[in-house]
Structure 1
Amino acid sequence: MKTSTEFKILIRRRIPYLNSFLLVVIIIFLICICILNLVMYPAIHSKSSLEMVFSYYNLVVPETLKVLSSYSFLGFIFVVPLYYKVRRHKPGILTFEEERILIKGQKIYIDTPKSRIEKIYCNDLKNIFGKPKRIFQSVIKNKEGLHTSFRLKDYETGGEFIDKLETLNVVLAGYENEMVIDHDEE
């Protein structure tokens, strides 16, 4: 942070159709693997030997399910890391200027005039058990309904960030759970 008006952030960028496609592919792979597990349930959970389980697999499981589950398992191993790579947060700098908020980073340039900001949501994220993750997330919603979601890189600057937001004369709101909104401004 160079001055009190600049904050290091991590902005969540996504490719909408690719994210959705990869998620659907992952779900299909998991369904195929679960079907194989369901068919193999009697053999796996009986107290029989490994040879009997293998024989059960060869004799009972249809050939199409064998091939489908093999491809699903291999595809799942390759697609999950790709899915998380597409969804990762990219570094940037959020700058408060006189009449606008500017977000700059590698291949990122978002210029939002203060007059277009409808509401800014802030949240100290928590895990599934309700314990703090030490991640401060913010979402800027403009009057056209577009959202820009980002996280502060340094959690400790959250208080200073909120103080700076209060000087903007915009509506600030908190939210209870993690707001799953990606950046959708082009």
Structure 2
Amino acid sequence: MKVISVALSLALALLVGAVEYSCEDKQVVSTSYVGASKNVKAETISCSNTLPGYAPLAATDNSTDPSNVCGANCTTNCFYPAGGGPDPNDCAVIADALLYDGQNIGPLFNITANTSGVAMTYASCYTFFLDQASYNLTYCRNDWSTVLNYVAVNCQATQNAHGGNCVATDQRWFIQVQNSTA
């Protein structure tokens, strides 16, 4: 019976990541334009909800010090069925802006605790990094660029999908890629 319970818990944990997230009570804290051409809209956002089925983690260290999650693993999930996903070429513009800012502003960015994040939009592509932990996180722009390109190319109509996300193994954060009109 214990094995069945563990297997069921694992299956439910894996399903959590496949859920398409929608920011509830979205508040835009700040807006800027990034990249070499300043054509990618970047917003710091706050949401009142977390990914369904997720329980926020308690701080394991001093919550005033960000926890660096650069290079941390995440699991990619595509949103099915096909139809309405972003153009991977539009997502590549955001990915390039992240790389440009990584070289010219700095490789890291900070996200404050509890359902706060950074969202970026260019044409049909909308992506965001959301902190679900109860403490601040630091992430790498080049890692976000890599994840963005991967999800945009591998979770599109030709794969019977319309975007997707990549959820951290410990579920403290996730990156989502979707159509900007979704």
The answer to whether TM tops 0.5 is: no
Larger Rg: 1
